[in-house]
Amino acid sequence: MSSPATTLTTPPAAPNDGAAQDWRTSLPEEMRSEKSFEKFKGVPDLAKSYVEIQKTMGNAIHMPKPDSKPEEWDTFYSKMGRPESPDKYELKLPESGTVDEGLVKEFRTAAHQSGLQPRQAQGLLDWFNKTQGDRMTAYTKTMEDGVGKLKGEWGGKFDEKISVASRAVKELGGDELISLLEETGLGNHPTLVKFFAKLGESTMEDKIIVGDTSSDGQETKDAIQMKIAEIMNNPKHPYNDARAPHADREAAIREVGNLYKQLG
């Protein structure tokens, strides 16, 4: 008996994986080539990504428009990390020097109004302190260099001219000018020192010419004595220079003699 014929059947073809995974065929034709869809295996992945994006957008911080109400800006600043109030800024202040508490308070208020985070406020304060410190260092060096030049220019008469300059400030400007020069530090500026020294010398010469008509006899005598000292300390003055022209030397001797007569 012959065995029954065996019926050979072809197994169903395996689904085309590429076609199964290419879910984009269900999309409008103009969207099928969108590159961003390539990372999704199917609609479920796309839906999951969409949900995550929506959650993220719900927690996003949106910057108000320039003309938004102050309340909207306050809400934005708070979300960005601004402290509740100006006094909540924990600032690290310089360890050396005098701290102006009033200025620090104003800085905290300005930082809070500007919506600064603590880190931003500290960074701005550090920059300000460094800049001020560098400027003060440069200013101090300029003053020291200027004083050094004056000492070289005036030599042994340095102290005398400084005294004349100080006296001019006191007599012509009074306490108000003295306070201004001390507060600003300009009292040590070489240019101003030279100006007040010349001004003081000019003022003293005027008093000497006035002579006995001066209302302040003591001031006149002090000026005369300083004038005499100035002549005596100047080796190039005709009074001290034996090689000076005869007429100049005679005039200088008469000048000194008249000064001594005015002293009485």
Going by the DSSP 8-state scheme, the letter that residue 211 receives in this structure is G
Residue ranges of the chain with per-residue pLDDT less than 50: 1-3, 5-11, 13-21, 208-215
pLDDT one-digit tens code per residue, 123-146 = 999 999 999 889 988 988 888 888
pLDDT one-digit tens code per residue, 4-55 = 544 444 445 444 444 444 788 888 888 888 888 888 888 888 778 877 777 6
Inter-helix orientation angle 101-113/118-154, to 10°: 140
> Domain for residue 55, yes or no?
no
CA dihedral 214, 219, 223, 228 (to 10 degrees): 100
> Domain for residue 212, yes or no?
yes
Token representation of residue 229 = 């000292």
Q: Note the pLDDT of residue 53.
A: 75
Amino acid at 66: P
> Domain for residue 203, yes or no?
yes
What's the structural domain count of the chain? 1
Instruction: Round to whole Å and give the CA distance between 77 and 74.
Output: 5
Token representation of residue 80 = 């960005």
Instruction: Round to whole Å and give the CA distance between 36 and 53.
Output: 14
> Average pLDDT, whole number, for the chain?
80
Inter-helix orientation angle 217-232/190-210, to 10°: 110
> Domain for residue 256, yes or no?
yes
Q: Note the pLDDT of residue 234.
A: 83
**226-263: buried (b, 16+ CB within 10 Å) or exposed (e) per residue?**
bbbebbeeeeebbbeeeebeeeebeebeeebeebeebe
> Domain for residue 67, yes or no?
no
> Domain for residue 253, yes or no?
yes
Look up the domain containing 218 and give its range: 155-263
Amino acid at 7: T
The half-sphere exposure of 155 on its side-chain side, counting CA atoms within 13 A, is 5
Contact between 253 and 239 under an 8 Å Cβ cutoff? The reply is: yes
Inter-helix orientation angle 217-232/158-168, to 10°: 150
Q: What is the pTM of this model?
A: 0.50
Contact between 124 and 111 under an 8 Å Cβ cutoff? The reply is: yes
> Domain for residue 148, yes or no?
no
Q: Which residue has the tokens 């600064």?
A: 116
Q: Note the pLDDT of residue 261.
A: 79
> Domain for residue 214, yes or no?
yes
